[in-house]
Amino acid sequence: GNSVTQMEGPVTLSEEAFLTINCTYTATGYPSLFWYVQYPGEGLQLLLKATKADDKGSNKGFEATYRKETTSFHLEKGSVQVSDSAVYFCALSSNNDMRFGAGTRLTVKP
């Protein structure tokens, strides 16, 4: 069945450091891929998405590229801020079936 595997956390970085959170997926068909972010005490918010191979999703300085050949959708940001501290979820949607990864907690220290 469909599944998402993402890098285990927690991840702790200093402000302005480079961020990578790895995500790989298994799916039948041609899924859409997403990154959601969950700030403390809040629900999940869509951060970015990509709907086909080689698409790049981007938002708020975060980027992820849909790599069909490696079945990956790694999240990157060139310079993280304290306000980026949150839990990040990779997700896929295929045939109306949405699956989430386990989440990666990011803490950014000043």
DSSP secondary structure, 61-95, as one string: TEEEE-BTTTTB--EEESS--GGG-EEEEEEEEET
Residue 57 in the binding site for other proteins (CB under 8 A): no
Nearer to other proteins (CB atom), residue 31 or residue 108: 31
- Piece in contact with other proteins (CB under 8 A), picked from 19-27, 59-67, 76-84, 89-97: 89-97
Q: Which of 24, 32, 85, 107 binds other proteins (CB under 8 A)?
A: 32
Query: Cis peptide leading into 10, omega within 30 of 0?
Result: yes
101 lies in the site for other proteins, by CB under 8 A: yes
